[in-house]
């Protein structure tokens, strides 16, 4: 296998880790009004936070992949 050939499972896993890290960091942002009885937010806007998490994870993943291609990181 070539030194530049990176297994697809590593790349998908790395993006998943970056996405979940960003998503869980964004969960507490902008909750708005909270129901006094249950403590749950009225409108958590999970879809918007998922898109923001993807927007944050993509450049992180590209930097990770760039480091692999530059042979700074070896897998």
pLDDT at 42: 82
d(CA 22, CA 10) in angstroms, rounded, equals 18
pLDDT at 33: 84
pTM of the predicted protein model: 0.82
Domain ranges in the chain?
Answer: 8-69
Q: For all residues of the chain together, what is the average pLDDT?
A: 88
* Category of 39 on φ-ψ map: left (φ > 0), alpha (ψ -120 to 50) or beta: left
Q: What is the pLDDT of residues 22-56, one digit of tens each?
A: 999 999 888 878 888 888 888 888 999 999 999 99
């Amino acid at each position: 296998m070539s030194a530049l050939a990176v297994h697809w499972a590593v790349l998908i896993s790395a993006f998943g880790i970056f996405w979940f890290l960003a998503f869980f960091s964004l969960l507490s942002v902008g909750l708005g009004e909270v129901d006094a009885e249950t403590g749950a937010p009225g409108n958590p806007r999970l879809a918007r936070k998922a898109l923001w998490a993807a927007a944050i994870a993509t450049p992180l993943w590209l930097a990770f992949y760039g480091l692999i291609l530059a042979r700074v990181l070896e897998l």
